[in-house]
Amino acid sequence: MKKLKTVSAGFARENLGKLLAQIKYFNSEIIIERKNKPAARLIPYKQTQTEKASAIDIAIEGKYDFRKSAGIAPGSIFQASTPPDTNNNPIISTSNE
């Protein structure tokens, strides 16, 4: 049986990013201990078939609107801006004087 790596809660708090990278790239598990007793286990995330199907369905149906996540109001990208008012501008004259 393979021995799992164990770390203290304090070490995990200070090095969480490194631990997550190790779990992801090496597909390993880490036990977090508090007062020398196991308190939690960090394991790699595995997307379920249901989650995969949902993501594919959303992409296919076009339900995901990238503009919302970017903070852009729908339609604002393609709306034409209004032209400047040339009637009261002495430099730009539209009349034939």
Q: Is the pLDDT of residue 21 over 70?
A: yes
For position 12, what pLDDT does the model report? 95
For position 88, what pLDDT does the model report? 60
Q: Is the pLDDT of residue 20 over 70?
A: yes
Greatest pairwise CA separation for the chain in angstroms: 96
Domains of the chain, by residue range, sit at: 1-67
How far is Cα of residue 39 from the mean position of the Cα atoms in its chain?
A: 29
* CATH-assigned architecture of domain 1-67: 3-Layer(aba) Sandwich (3.40)
pLDDT tens for each residue of 43-91: 988 877 777 777 666 666 665 666 666 666 655 555 555 555 556 655 5
Q: Is the pTM of this model over 0.75?
A: no
36: nearest Cα among 58, 69, 6: 6
